[in-house]
Structure 1
């Protein structure tokens, strides 16, 4: 894989989990990283880890459900580092487990505001900057729930399906503008969201493991490596894809 030396990456939801692992991975390959999150303490810790390893990073607080904050984050990225080469749209929330008729309108609206509209706002701002500078790479974090149904998680599944739709549409719209857009679709991966669920639901981790043919949950670092692969210059022919990182789940 090529180095990302002198490239600039903006990563949302980088205060923990997949976002943090991705920020650390890009920094290790030479990228200058903008760590974005609503979790200021987590974001600061990610920056600290990058700097301790000899990398360069700054933290920008951003609630992706607010388009003005997204625009400000992209603007600050360019003001700080001069450009934006890579956008990783990872920020997201989990939802309540309930059947569709039991889901509240508020829960539905919050889920779509962060997990779908947030990705839309990020893509808009990132693409505007990339068009102005002549190209870039975007990876959106969807989910296996964006490919198949998720009983008891309808709003989450709907939002993640929408992320794949946005990904494929943008890939087609900007393919000749040197902007590549792909998605990664993880199965259950150790993160604050998943580990929090495991902590309050006895037996949940074992049920998750049984679903996955490889017999374990994913690690954030494994998802990060798939994201790096999609952004590498060697893979410039790859756009509009939703890469499954699922331990074999969708093979059956």
Structure 2
């Protein structure tokens, strides 16, 4: 059985999740690449293998506790256990004022962005404890620390997962588990296309660096935070936002 560190990444078929999986693999971590789109997950697995890394792939609907359990079982079966969980899978919706959002639209965003994270975390924690501890990194957003016009379901979910990570850090820190939320601002993933056109045009200037982020920059930060080098960091919202919140 391998003694290398292991990780599970959700929503890893593209964008920030893909970048996290690649960055972790580059540090020698064996990665289970999961995504709702199983073919996309397998393509990232192949990319990791082509670069000399170790990876598996599995389709995963994060709104299903059963699918989270199967993913963790796969990591256990192949690599002996889980050391790092990156909860990245998320969705947005077209910008809509709060009073015009239907209950179904609200529920759809929270099902993935909040409930799906909780379903994963509650099963990831026992797996991490089996290894004497580990790290949970959840991808939050600037919408987790401020309001976002037209995006109330998204902002509500991201605020909630920040609180979830702080609580997990307090509950499990003495048992060797670190829990963090990483907060990108605007990143070139495609999700930004749901914003109004005038907002999209203004995005670079909202950041101190005068540009939006790239997925690889978020992946690099996540890989470092998940490493032993970041062993004192837990319970925090870590902005990786090009200086967005400096304004």
Residue 219 (structure 2) pairs with residue 224 (structure 1):
yes
Determine helix, strand or coil for the equivalent of 1:68.
helix
**Contact 2:42/2:58 (8 A) holds in 1:** no
Map of 1:1-252 to 2, 5 A cutoff? 6-194=4-192, 196-197=193-194, 202-252=197-247
When normalised by structure 2's length, the TM-score is: 0.95
Q: 1:202 to 1:148 in 2, by over 3 A?
A: closer
Deviations 1:85-106 (A, max 9, x none): 0000000111121111000100
Runs of 4+ in 1 over 3 A off after TM superposition: 201-205
**Contact 1:16/1:192 (8 A) holds in 2:** no
Determine helix, strand or coil for the equivalent of 1:237.
coil
Deviations 1:153-175 (A, max 9, x none): 00000000001000000000001
Deviations 1:150-202 (A, max 9, x none): 110000000000010000000000010000001100001011323x447xx64
Deviations 1:65-110 (A, max 9, x none): 1111111111111112111000000001111211110001001111
Determine helix, strand or coil for the equivalent of 1:18.
helix
State the alpha-carbon separation in 1 of the partners of residues 79 and 129 from structure 2.
Answer: 17
Q: Which structure 1 segments of 5+ residues have no match?
A: none
When normalised by structure 1's length, the TM-score is: 0.94
**Contact 1:40/1:61 (8 A) holds in 2:** yes
Deviations 1:18-58 (A, max 9, x none): 11111111111111110000112211110111011011111
**Contact 2:94/2:194 (8 A) holds in 1:** no
State the alpha-carbon separation in 2 of the partners of residues 96 and 220 from structure 1.
Answer: 21
Deviations 1:198-239 (A, max 9, x none): 7xx645532111222211110001111111121121221110
State the alpha-carbon separation in 2 of the partners of residues 132 and 228 from structure 1.
Answer: 21
Q: CA RMSD in A?
A: 1.4
Q: Which structure 2 segments of 5+ residues have no match?
A: none
